[in-house]
């Protein structure tokens, strides 16, 4: 039986939840042109985010599920960094896309995923590049079953090889 509270987890779960919430917040800002500081406040206050829709494969019934509690500091930092460096991130993303996936083909959620990931890759501290890429590819899998996760992986790998080249040198 659910208590209605978000499950508490270790810091890895909190960081994963922060990444997902940052993507959702960036999507909200892009889709509605809302002020990002208000969106961040709404997420932190629990008025936005924090739940997901789960579908029962046998009955197609949908239920809302509470997500793990996010690392609030990481969430705020990712959104702020993504907004502050949006032009730089968009330039890196555009330069890293293949000819088969032009910039105008990127949906808002894919662009939000990539912006959050680039913001995190630009950070001086934090997770290793491979962890960041893996986390955002996993987030992409939550939204897409088609070629988008592979495209996100390829774009982030190209960007990480520029921003974090020392980390990605083959042994």
pLDDT of 121 above 80: yes
Locate 133 and state its tokens: 């890429």
How high is the mean pLDDT of the chain? 85
What percent of the chain clears pLDDT 90, i.e. is strictly above it?
Answer: 61
What's domain 11-163's superfamily in CATH? Answer: NusB-like (1.10.940.10)
pLDDT of 103 above 70: yes
For 70, list phi and psi in degrees, rounded to 5: -85, 160
Q: pTM higher than 0.95 for the full model? A: no
Query: Residues 45-96: pLDDT tens digits?
Result: 876 555 555 667 777 777 655 666 888 999 999 999 999 999 999 999 999 9
Q: How many CB atoms lie within 10 A of CB 61?
A: 9
**Cβ 140 vs Cβ 152: under 8 Å:** yes
**Cβ 9 vs Cβ 68: under 8 Å:** yes
Q: What is the pLDDT of residue 67?
A: 61
pLDDT of 156 above 50: yes
Can you tell me the distance from the alpha carbon of 109 to that of 169, in angstroms, rounded to the nearest whole number? 30
Can you tell me the mean pLDDT for 118-123? 93
């Amino acid at each position: 039986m659910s208590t209605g509270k978000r499950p508490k987890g270790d810091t890895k779960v909190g960081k994963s939840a922060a990444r997902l919430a940052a993507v959702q917040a960036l999507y909200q800002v892009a889709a509605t042109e809302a002020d990002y500081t208000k969106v961040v406040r709404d997420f932190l206050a629990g008025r936005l985010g924090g739940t997901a829709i789960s579908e029962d494969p046998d009955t197609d019934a949908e239920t809302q599920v509470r997500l793990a509690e996010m690392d609030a500091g990481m969430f705020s930092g990712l959104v702020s960094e993504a907004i502050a460096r949006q032009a730089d991130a968009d330039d890196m993303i555009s330069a890293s896309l293949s000819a088969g996936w032009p910039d105008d083909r990127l949906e808002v959620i894919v662009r939000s995923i990539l912006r959050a990931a680039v913001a995190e890759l630009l950070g001086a501290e934090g997770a290793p590049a491979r962890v960041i890429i893996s986390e955002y590819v996993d987030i992409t899998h939550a939204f897409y079953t088609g070629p988008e996760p592979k495209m996100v992986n390829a774009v982030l790998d190209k960007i990480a090889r520029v921003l974090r080249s020392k980390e990605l040198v083959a042994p």
